[in-house]
Structure 1
């Protein structure tokens, strides 16, 4: 009997669910103080993301330098500047800058 093939759409949907679940578990482990376990969850989420070519959601922040999930007030600082938001990782010192979304025409 042949295996049932899963469509690419279903693969991406399943990958998004698993990535989101792993990132939530990583944040929970960081809040409890289990930093190595939380880094492992981020590493697994990145591996799923790379294998299925699925992006990790923007609200699931992690440091690309040390792979720790970023929890504001605990292991990162968030600063709002004139044109961008800066997130400073307190573990490795990496800075992530994201521009504000502007609405033109208002």
Structure 2
């Protein structure tokens, strides 16, 4: 949000509503979250095997155990974090001071 405050203020000045300006960031957050969940689950699956193999030695073996509920819990945690950060961004967009945001030089 801090990096794009000037852009969002510019959108508000040219006539976008608060909801339309918020949609720019929130839609991006939603798309990234929905694309990252399956990709992260797949990469995590293979990472478990790599870590298990890396820590196993001749004396002991670290086994990889998957519990399907862990994927659901992880996905739920990511979705809750995305919703919380989206709410905070929306709150900040509603409070943005247009004049001071447009005065800031990059």
**TM-score (ref. length: structure 1):** 0.33
Asked which structure has the greater CA Rg, the reply is 2
Greater share of residues in strand: 1
Q: Identify the structure with bigger relative contact order (alpha carbons < 8 Å, sequence gap 6+).
A: 2
